[in-house]
Amino acid sequence: MKRHVVMVAAAAALAAGATAAEVAPMEVKWDEDGSIAESLTGTPGDPASGAKIMTTNALGNCVACHEIGAMPDVPFQGNIGPALDGAADRWTEAQLRGLVVDAKRTFEGTFMPGMYKTGPFTRPGDAYTGKAAPADLMPILSAQQIEDVVAYLLTLKE
Amino acid sequence: MTLRYSRTTIAAAAALAIGAGAAWAEPVDDTLIVNEEITIKTRAEAPAHLEGALPELYSGWHFREDDTRKMQMDDFDNPNFVFLEQGLDQWSVAEGTENKSCADCHGDIEESMKGVRAVMPKVNAAGALWSMEDYINDCRTNRMGAEAWKWNSQDMKNMTLAISLQSRGMPMNVAIDGPAAEFWERGKEMYYTRFGQLEMSCANCHEDNWGNFIRADHLSQGQINAFPLYRLKDAGVVSIHQRFVGCVRDTRAETFAAGSQEFRELELYVASRGQGLDIEGAGVRH
């Protein structure tokens, strides 16, 4: 697994104009193993909102690739990645945050997209329009949405 | 390739996960016989140049529902034929400053166009890689003095359907050596490039994960032997490049244009991945 250098200090995040406590995608503080210890927002995640994000196509759409037995009402769950049941038994909060922000730091070359990542990409687009991305390409999920998803994942114990 | 699940791991994991919902699903075990007389080869041995990337080739037909597969088994039920027949009619319509039709130069479409789909795209006399659409427009502009058709126009699709039908039941057999080799190499590189904000390559879906489900979609090997094909979801005929545009766009990427050099090269490479599968003439997908 590739090691990445921690990029910028939290002070710079403030200067960059993000919401007071919010960590911008390029300023995330990674640990060697692909985990992120610190909350991206300082505001506790809401698991109910996390569940919604994970099952909404236009948001996380995690169920496109993962089965979640705890969500029996969600139709057509994909099977590209491992089932997420018991994820909180296998991973710590910091590891789960890292997996959702950019799983490629944990699993090199994985198929799973980085949900809080703004580059570098090859020919990034403007969402699903097929057009070129704007200069200020937004991550797929916001910092608080990431925290909400992590909060939901932490409920997945067997 | 990068780290990924092997097919056996997926199968084992899916077996454990049974009860949770979807599981890896075999391509449907069925035989495509059209009009009760033409048997189409929809599975084939993988060609050597794939170097083991696919254990066996399957047409996308095997990954669709029973109703969809059935629509392709009888030309009366196949929604392509309304358009295909317009293409057949167009074949003998004189147009342009030369007042000539395709038939004036090529004669009977059933004879002159037999096998053409199976070798497309190919390198032309001037050394450029051309798709069928390019050859058609070359005749229109240079020999008929007529206007070029847009790549994804209905006129163009009608004609490519009519021409493709003449190769129905013949195996895909594109040239990838000699002058085609450099185009093929570039197409291959593109196939494995991870595009867009989702950082996904063609191979991620159609090589690493065929047989798996992305939400409700049963992923096929992304073969092009059935193109142009009728897509029920779009209620219309879809060209090869049009499908590529859609798949690249779905990776949250800036896509390439239909008719771009990049897509011609990708078309050649993807065609070569289906070498040995029969041309379906007019596929139906959902």
Q: Which residues does B18 contact at the CB level (< 8 Å), separation at least 6?
A: none
**Closest Cα to residue A4, out of A26, A45, A34, A25?**
A34
What chain B residue is nearest to A117 in terms of C-alpha separation? B197
What chain A residue is nearest to B247 in terms of C-alpha separation? A130
Give the pLDDT score at B17. Answer: 37
Q: Please report which confidence band the pLDDT of residue A7 belongs to, taking 50, 70 and 90 as the band edges.
A: very low
B195–A123: do the CB atoms touch at under 8 Å?
A: yes
Per-residue pLDDT of chain B (286 residues; tens, 9 = 90+): 233 333 333 333 333 333 334 456 789 999 999 999 999 999 999 999 999 999 999 999 999 999 999 999 999 999 999 999 999 999 999 999 999 999 999 999 999 999 999 999 999 999 999 999 999 999 999 999 999 999 999 999 999 999 999 999 999 999 999 999 999 999 999 999 999 999 999 999 999 999 999 999 999 999 999 999 999 999 999 999 999 999 999 999 999 999 999 999 999 999 999 999 999 999 999 9
Among the options B105, B139, B205, B247, which is catalytic? B247
Q: Model confidence over B129-145: pLDDT tens digits?
A: 999 999 999 999 999 99
A78–B22: do the CB atoms touch at under 8 Å?
A: yes
* Residues of chain A contacting B4 with CB distance shorter than 8 Å: 109-111
* Residues of chain B contacting A67 with CB distance shorter than 8 Å: 17, 20-22
Q: Is A107 on the interface with B (CB under 8 A)?
A: yes
Residue with tokens 């692909």: A34
Q: Model confidence over B244-267: pLDDT tens digits?
A: 999 999 999 999 999 999 999 999
Residue A46 Cα, gap to closest chain B Cα (Å): 25
Give the pLDDT score at B25. Answer: 76
B286 alpha carbon, distance to own chain's centre = 15
B14–A64: do the CB atoms touch at under 8 Å?
A: no
CA–CA separation, B71 and B74 (whole Å) = 6
Residue with tokens 């196509």: A57
A125–B215: do the CB atoms touch at under 8 Å?
A: no
CA–CA separation, B68 and B218 (whole Å) = 13
